[in-house]
Amino acid sequence: MSEPAASSGFEPVRIGIVSISDRASTGVYEDKGLPALKDWLAQALHNPLHFEARLIPDERPLIAATLRELVDEARCDLVLTTGGTGPAPRDVTPEATLDVADREMPGFGEQMRQISLRFVPTAILSRQTAVIRGKALVLNLPGQPKSIAETLEGLKSPTGEVLVSGIFAAIPYCIDLIGGPYLETREDRVKTFRPKNAVRVRPEA
């Protein structure tokens, strides 16, 4: 599923997006997770994007196999899942994500819960996590489009001041460190945080 280049000179990025839902995967209702992820990423990144989209049920072995396929075969640099992170018996996305991990990155889940707690006390029931597999970052996100956007871009005041940083502010530098492409965000959407010595200066056209 290829997308047109956002701008010449930016590194292309392969992104896996996975919506995990028994009912959406069987057509009981329309999946909203994949369109929400795709739209937000297309608006937030300058890079040309290639999406690998998957809609699957809440089955731990299938989720793990899908994540392995996206990283090992489709060569995605970043994989984002949505759905299946609560305490219900069928919510097994975090377990499946840990099944494929080389290393765990718990700070992402901690920050997502901090953002969600601004809205609902039940955010503490969420079990989102993140892991590194090879040279890819794999992240669990909430299931609702509004919550997806809030956790990715954070919370801002009416004047645009950042009140709580979203997790995407740290994703580009994380991908730098594990050997992936250089992600460049649109600052009106989310500002990337990198140490000064890690920032690339774009030559003038």
Q: What CATH number is attached to the domain comprising 67?
A: 3.40.980.10
Domain that includes residue 143, residue range: 13-198
Q: Confirm whether 3 is domain-assigned.
A: no
Query: How high is the pLDDT of residue 199?
Result: 94
Q: Confirm whether 1 is domain-assigned.
A: no
Query: How high is the pLDDT of residue 204?
Result: 56
> Mean pLDDT in runs of 10 for the chain (205 residues)?
56 97 89 95 97 97 98 98 96 98 97 92 95 98 92 86 90 98 93 93 63
β-bridge partners, 113: none
Which strands, in side-by-side order, build the sheet including 130-133?
A: 49-56, 13-20, 78-82, 136-141, 130-133, 103-104
Q: Confirm whether 61 is domain-assigned.
A: yes
Please count the structural domains in the chain.
Answer: 1
Q: Confirm whether 2 is domain-assigned.
A: no
Q: Confirm whether 73 is domain-assigned.
A: yes
Task: Give the helix, strand, coil percentages of the chain, each rounded to 5.
Answer: 35, 20, 40
Query: How high is the pLDDT of residue 11?
Result: 95
